[in-house]
Amino acid sequence: MRLRHFAAIQYAILAIYLWASWLLILSPPERAIGQLEFMFAPTHENRTFFIFLAIAPIIATALSISFCFQTSNFVPLANWLAAVAFVCFVVAVWQFDSSLILGFGLGFAFAVYSRLRLTHHSSGTPNGAP
| Residue-range definition of the domain harbouring residue 75 | 3-128
Among the listed residues 40, 89, 44, the one whose alpha carbon sits nearest the alpha carbon of residue 63: 89
Whole-number pLDDT of residue 122 = 53
Checking if the pLDDT of 128 tops 60, the result is no
- Pick left, alpha or beta for residue 13 (phi over 0 → left; psi -120 to 50 → alpha; otherwise beta): alpha
DSSP symbol at 124: T
Average pLDDT, stretch 11-35?
A: 93
- The pLDDT confidence band at residue 34, using thresholds 50, 70 and 90, is very high
- The pLDDT confidence band at residue 120, using thresholds 50, 70 and 90, is low
Checking if the pLDDT of 45 tops 80, the result is yes
Q: State the chain's mean pLDDT as an integer.
A: 85
Whole-number pLDDT of residue 130 = 43
Residues 6+ positions from 24 with CB-CB distance below 8 Å: none
**What domain count does the chain have?**
1
Q: Does residue 59 contact residue 84 with C-beta atoms inside 8 Å?
A: yes
DSSP symbol at 69: S
> Tell me, what amino acid is at 38?
F
